[in-house]
Amino acid sequence: MRNQSRVAFYLLLMPLVLWLGLLIIIPHIDMLLISLRERVSFGVYDRSLAQYEKALTEPLYLRTFARTAVMSVLATAITLLIAFPVAYYIAKMARGRLQQVLFLLCLIPFYVSELVRTFGWMILLRETGIVSNLLQWAGLADQPVEMLYTDATMMVGLVYTSMLFMVVPLVTTLESLDDSVIEAGYDLGGSGLSVLREIIIPHAMPGIVSGCIVVFMLSLGNYLTPTMLGGKDSLWFTEMIYNQFIVRSNWELGAAFGFMLLVLSSVIVWGMLRLTGRTLKETMG
Amino acid sequence: MIPTIPQSRTVRIVYGGYVALFFLYLALPLTVVAVFAFNDSQFPSLPWEGFTWNWFFGDTRPQIGVFHERGILGAVGTSAFVAACVAVLSVAVGTTNAFLFNRYDFRGKGLLYVLMLLPLVIPGIVLGISILVFSSTLANGIWDLAQMDIQALRPGLLLVILGQFSFITTIATLVISARLQKFDRTLEEAALNLGADRLTAVRTITLPFLAPAMIGAVVVAFLMSFENFNTTLMLVGSDAPLTIAMFDRLKEGSTPLLNAVSLLLMLGSSLLALMMILFQRRS
């Protein structure tokens, strides 16, 4: 029996090890090694930090890196601000059928490809688009208005794309908050604001943290939205990775960029977990 | 602020209005995509030129519908093939992972669990390039050793499947683990007491119990694979899945054909999602 169970254990361990080893761990080590080399001549490479030096001294690269990070944080904050009242409404104000329907409605856009969602925003906001026509019809503009290719449009798209990943964890945590606790807060003389600050938000913290982590990751790693909705100035870091790999075939620099993105996202996720004293296992699992 | 605590009328109206606006925001882009699939014009924008089915069934230029457009149909086939492979693979590995983490205690279990979650926090583009880099290292190594060129290790469908599998497996594992945790192990022991061997007990008792979660995971994996863009973009070869094919066309300028494809996609995925929800409610 013991022997049989050992065999079963190794049989179950094997797919996991193969999957993580061959598709996650070794490829990332290989990517790190490639980013740490420099082409000397045809087929000859030297170990060097040249790629990172280039990435950290070239103003365009550095600015894009910082911009992507800041804009992603901003997108996360906006998503949280917009989603929280809605999640609270679904969890605490709506009842019965309405609650279920509203929750399902939030899920629908997620089942539609990101490409389709982005395409929808393009139809709405382009120069010949719906919003531009609407503005002209209402007399608010006397010529077609181009609303695509700006940072604001890109932000609308980013927030839209990741909204669901904020609403769902928030609804789940807020639902577990007992109404009587909120009533008690009011009974003890709390105002709406102090109940929100001292009861609701602390209770919703796990949901806020996991929502923020996922939304931040999705924004940082997004390629479609910045490419399709953002302007010439709103270059995203993922676009630079793509350019180095596919357009310029400069894999060494591209790999270095990839690693920088990975480190940035890990540091921020780790920082968020650290600030709130939670673990990755609790948040994602 | 909860229903049992009285609030002023204005506050309630403003709050309700805000929630309504939010849902309008959610619905708006999808609605316009759907509506303009029926516009009898070369562009998916105003003015409205009248209603037509041509972007679905048309077979003459310039309005060739989805069902007569070889490129799009081929891309749908490619996507479906990739998604089916990814779904089967990731649910298989997800199931073994779930058993491993649920049934065994071993050294390094915590670490392996965190590693298992990792693919979710790695940006899709980075997953894509790391696999691209590694497979090309492998291919070059094999070439140097044996002068053999392994085409499968160059960008193409195999790499796309592996790339998507690498993170969808985490989701499958989580979905199946959640159900396995609710399983009452005494049922399995009863089967063993009645003379079944371990494998039979798992096959006849545990797996049927897990089936709803496994089917749910298959559907989720299929949808995620079908819609994946970032990882696929880095690994794609000459056979483009649907999202990549649509992206290429969108860059060149869009016709309502893309709206028609999008509408069909929306219908298809909501149908699948709905079926899954109904199925899970029943069991």
The least confident of A9-18, B219-228, B248-257 is: B248-257
Q: Are B125 and A221 in contact (CB under 8 A)?
A: yes
- Nearest Cβ partner for B134 among A30, A241, A262: A30
- Rounded to an integer, the average pLDDT of A179-207 is 81
- Contacts (Cβ under 8 Å, ≥6 apart) of B196: B204
Q: Is the pLDDT of residue A202 over 80?
A: yes
* Domain membership of residue A102 as a residue range: 49-284
A37 located within any domain: no
- Rounded to an integer, the average pLDDT of A225-238 is 84
Q: How many domains does chain A have?
A: 1
| Chain A residues touching residue B162 (CB < 8 angstroms) | 23
The least confident of A62-76, A93-107, B115-129, B211-225 is: A93-107
- Nearest Cβ partner for A120 among B1, B29, B96: B29
Q: Following DSSP, what letter does each residue of A118-130 receive, concatenated?
A: HHHHHHHHSTTSH
Give, rounded to a whole angstrom, the gap between the first and last alpha carbons of chain B: 36
| Chain B residues touching residue A258 (CB < 8 angstroms) | 125-126, 129-130
pLDDT of res. A283? 65
- Rounded to an integer, the average pLDDT of B247-268 is 84
* Domain membership of residue B120 as a residue range: 75-252
Under DSSP, the state recorded for B66 is: G
- Rounded to an integer, the average pLDDT of A97-112 is 81
pLDDT of res. A282? 66
pLDDT of res. B4? 65
pLDDT per residue over A28-81, tens digit each?
999 999 888 887 777 777 787 878 888 888 888 888 899 999 999 999 999 999
- Rounded to an integer, the average pLDDT of A18-31 is 93
Where do we find the tokens 């669990």?
B113
B133 to A34: CB separation less than 8 angstroms, yes or no: yes
Counting Cα atoms < 13 Å in the Cβ hemisphere of A8 gives 15
Q: Sorting pLDDT into bands at 50, 70 and 90, what band is B148?
A: confident
pLDDT of res. B1? 63
Q: Are A173 and A204 in contact (CB under 8 A)?
A: yes
* Alpha carbons B140 and B135: distance in angstroms, whole number: 9
A21 located within any domain: no
Q: Are B165 and B222 in contact (CB under 8 A)?
A: no
Helix, strand, or coil here: A212?
helix
pLDDT of res. B151? 79
β-pairing, A44-47 vs A37-41, is antiparallel
CATH of the domain at B97: 1.10.3720.10
Q: Are A180 and A236 in contact (CB under 8 A)?
A: no
| Chain B residues touching residue A280 (CB < 8 angstroms) | 114, 117, 121
pLDDT of res. B202? 84
| Chain A residues touching residue B43 (CB < 8 angstroms) | 128
Q: How many CB atoms lie within 10 A of CB A172?
A: 17
Helix, strand, or coil here: A41?
strand
The Cα-based distances of B126 to A115, A165, B79, B117, B235 in angstroms read 19, 21, 21, 16, 11
* Alpha carbons B127 and A265: distance in angstroms, whole number: 13
pLDDT per residue over B56-108, tens digit each?
776 767 767 777 778 888 889 999 999 999 999 999 999 999 999 988 888 88
A20 touching B (Cβ < 8 Å) = yes
- Residue A34 distance to chain B (closest CA, Å): 8
Q: Which of residues 246-285 of A touch B (CB under 8 A)?
A: 246, 251, 254-255, 258, 261-262, 265-266, 269, 280-281, 284-285
Structure tokens given for B232: 């696929």
Of A215, A176, A178, A205, residue with least CA distance to A282: A205
Count the residues in chain A: 285
Helix, strand, coil share (%) of chain B residues, nearest 5:
75, 0, 20
Q: Is the pLDDT of residue A1 over 60?
A: no
pLDDT per residue over A262-272, tens digit each?
998 888 888 88
Under DSSP, the state recorded for A277 is: T
* Alpha carbons B265 and B76: distance in angstroms, whole number: 10
pLDDT of res. B232? 92
Q: Are B228 and B171 in contact (CB under 8 A)?
A: no
**Interface ipTM:** 0.86
pLDDT of res. B95? 93
* Alpha carbons B154 and B159: distance in angstroms, whole number: 8
Phi/psi of residue B69, each to 5°? Answer: -100, 105
Where do we find the tokens 């382009």?
A126
Tally C-beta pairs within 8 A across A and B. Answer: 243
Provide the mean pLDDT of chain A.
84
β-pairing, B59-60 vs B63-64, is antiparallel
Biggest CA pair distance of chain B? 80
* Alpha carbons A16 and A27: distance in angstroms, whole number: 15
Higher pLDDT, B94 or A151: B94
Angle at CA of residue A35, ends A261 and A15, nearest 5°: 75
Of A233, A261, A266, residue with least CA distance to A52: A261
Angle at CA of residue A174, ends A168 and A175, nearest 5°: 90
The least confident of A50-54, A80-84, A158-162, B276-280 is: B276-280
| Chain A residues touching residue B259 (CB < 8 angstroms) | 119, 123
Q: Is the pLDDT of residue B265 over 90?
A: no
The amino acid at residue A57 is: T
- Rounded to an integer, the average pLDDT of B265-283 is 79
Q: How many domains does chain B have?
A: 1
Higher pLDDT, A127 or B179: B179
- Residue A174 distance to chain B (closest CA, Å): 12
Q: Is the pLDDT of residue A246 over 60?
A: yes
Q: How far is CA B254 from the centre of its chain?
A: 25
pLDDT of res. A285? 52
- Rounded to an integer, the average pLDDT of B151-172 is 90
B261 located within any domain: no
Q: Sorting pLDDT into bands at 50, 70 and 90, what band is B130?
A: very high
Q: Are A35 and A258 in contact (CB under 8 A)?
A: yes
pLDDT of res. B282? 67
* Alpha carbons A269 and B120: distance in angstroms, whole number: 12
* Alpha carbons B143 and A65: distance in angstroms, whole number: 36
- Rounded to an integer, the average pLDDT of B120-139 is 91
- Residue A129 distance to chain B (closest CA, Å): 6
pLDDT of res. B18? 92
Of A247, A186, A261, residue with least CA distance to A32: A261
Q: Give percent of chain A with pLDDT exceeding 90.
A: 22
- Rounded to an integer, the average pLDDT of B199-212 is 86
Count the residues in chain B: 283
- Rounded to an integer, the average pLDDT of A228-256 is 86
Q: Give percent of chain A with pLDDT exceeding 70.
A: 96
Q: How far is CA A4 from the centre of its chain?
A: 44
Of A231, A210, A212, A208, residue with least CA distance to A220: A212
B5 located within any domain: no
Q: Is the pLDDT of residue A276 over 90?
A: no
B29 to A238: CB separation less than 8 angstroms, yes or no: no
pLDDT of res. B266? 86
Which of B45, B72, B276 is the mutation pick for testing A, counting most A CBs within 10 A?
Answer: B45
The least confident of A166-180, A235-249, B46-60, B78-92 is: B46-60
CATH of the domain at A186: 1.10.3720.10
A115 touching B (Cβ < 8 Å) = yes
* Alpha carbons A52 and A39: distance in angstroms, whole number: 14
* Torsion sign over Cα B62, A114, B219, B77: positive
CA dihedral B146, B149, B155, B157 (to 10 degrees): -100
Give, rounded to a whole angstrom, the gap between the first and last alpha carbons of chain A: 32
Q: Sorting pLDDT into bands at 50, 70 and 90, what band is B3?
A: low
Q: Give percent of chain B with pLDDT exceeding 90.
A: 29
- Rounded to an integer, the average pLDDT of A194-203 is 82
Higher pLDDT, A191 or B12: B12
